[in-house]
Amino acid sequence: MVRLKSFLVCAPTIGLFSFALTSQVFAQNPAQIDQANKTITSSPALEFKTSTHAFPFTKPKNAGLFLEVAIVTDPKLPQINQDLIAAALESAAKTFEIRFGLQKPHFVVTSSLSVSEFMKQAPLETSKYCLSQISKRYRGTGPQEFEPYEQKAKKFLKKWSLKSLTSFVTDSKIKRSPTYDGVYEHLIERYVTTVQRLAETKTRSQQPLVRPKYSTEQSFAAWNCALREQRNFDVIITNAFIMADIMSEPHPHAFFGKAKVGGIATLNPHRNALGKAALLATTFAIDTPITWLSELDGKPALPKERAEILGDYLLAHEIAHAIIGIPDVYDHPAECLMTSRPNQSYRVGLQLLRRHQKPCSRCRKWVDAYRAYHKAVKMLSNNRPRSALRYLSRASKITPKHFHGGYRRKMSDISYLVAKAYGEIGRKSRSLKFARRALELNPRSKEAQNYLETITSTDTEP
């Protein structure tokens, strides 16, 4: 997950379905206009379709990283401006290329739907994973709710150095002599107070912003599950308010901050474009009239800046979580897209990034591991298994342990490819060993399961 931490600058909202089809901004490539489906392509990296439902579409040849986008709207909150989305997607694609030196993604908006329609796409009440996650959500009744999750939550916090966590601490005694236990207690105290304030906060129409005791509509646990279980989209853009609430995984910038989630990147076994992942970013923080939750520091922002906050600061950040596996960090230099700083608004964060237009040297190790892995994938598809093995060996050595999406899962993916490469050069026992290792590291890996079944059935053939 996440940028967390908004206002009312409410730019004029164009109704979602009255999207400016004739806008010159989007009509730069008339060849891409499909009158039947009212599809408009504004640039090679961006495509829009307008519909209350999903439209069928054809993936362009050689599109590279091709991402299907849905707009998910909460009717209670300020609506999403279509021009903002178009510009933000374009901005996210460019930023991703500049910051990480990787090919920019191509986005196509294929659907628009309400929050409740979106949530229906996920089996929230039957999926074992969802039920388990939702059972760990904070219901706003006080610090005692955290007791059953204390050990897991402390283990989760230990992914970060004490020094980097201490940047969020405001208690002077804990700041002077920090311990994980002290930081954890302080985090719970701050979070419980923040959620109390959120529960007392009203929307412009005087409805409660969030009802942690009764409803999962604004729950990160529920959104994360829906994003993980739905089968139709790689990217969701929403205007919803999402509250960080999984007690066993207290993401420091959210729990020490406003308990607000700006984006999510999570696993999704059904989506391949981002490597079995899906992601989300919300415009809530850019459009809310609620001053204390605003990320624009109470001052109006021009459309360009708003689009850059959504595109550069939120979307590109989530893409990097999903594709490269870089986790949230708190101590990288000013040019780092993945660093959250205490009390830093999105606006200030974006300004800092603009002044430092270069890749982050400390994120480099994740980018190098990503490159090695993808070189291996390419070599395998070009029937060069020996070269693939060299790249896989490098990837397994340099993949950082703190890895978004899970180190064991990544190592399972690597082992699976090693098994395939050995299989292709006829070394069956080694292939078998690595296929088993892949499954041991990630028992849910369908690829490893299928591969193991294939090679073992081949082995027993008369």
Specify the residue, 185 or 331, whose C-beta has the smaller distance to Zn ion. 331
Specify the residue, 11 or 398, whose C-beta has the smaller distance to Zn ion. 398
Task: Give residues with Cβ within 8 angstroms of 60, minimum separation 6.
Answer: 66, 106
Neighbours of 300 (CB within 10 A): 12
Helix axis angle, 128-135 to 220-229, nearest 10°: 170
Specify the residue, 104 or 251, whose C-beta has the smaller distance to Zn ion. 251
Query: Nearest 5°: phi and psi at 76?
Result: -75, -20
Neighbours of 343 (CB within 10 A): 11
Q: Which DSSP symbol is given to 65?
A: S
Find the shortest distance in angstroms from Cβ 224 to Zn ion: 13
Specify the residue, 328 or 413, whose C-beta has the smaller distance to Zn ion. 328
Find the shortest distance in angstroms from Cβ 323 to Zn ion: 13
CB 325 within 8 A of CB 404: yes
**Residue 443: HSE in the Cβ half-sphere, 13 Å Cα cutoff:** 0
In the sheet where 235-238 sits, what is the strand order? 39-43, 46-49, 106-114, 66-73, 235-238, 277-282, 263-267
201 SS3 class: coil
Find the shortest distance in angstroms from Cβ 68 to Zn ion: 21
Specify the residue, 240 or 338, whose C-beta has the smaller distance to Zn ion. 338
Find the shortest distance in angstroms from Cβ 27 to Zn ion: 34
202 SS3 class: strand
Find the shortest distance in angstroms from Cβ 219 to Zn ion: 18
Could you list the residues that contact Zn ion (CB under 5 A)? 2, 328, 332, 336, 338, 360, 362-363
Which amino acid makes up residue 221?
A
Neighbours of 123 (CB within 10 A): 15
Neighbours of 360 (CB within 10 A): 22
Find the shortest distance in angstroms from Cβ 315 to Zn ion: 11
Specify the residue, 68 or 318, whose C-beta has the smaller distance to Zn ion. 318
Specify the residue, 187 or 320, whose C-beta has the smaller distance to Zn ion. 320
Q: How far apart, in whole angstroms, are the C-alpha atoms of residue 266 and residue 224? A: 7
**Token reading at 152:** 């897991």
Find the shortest distance in angstroms from Cβ 48 to Zn ion: 26
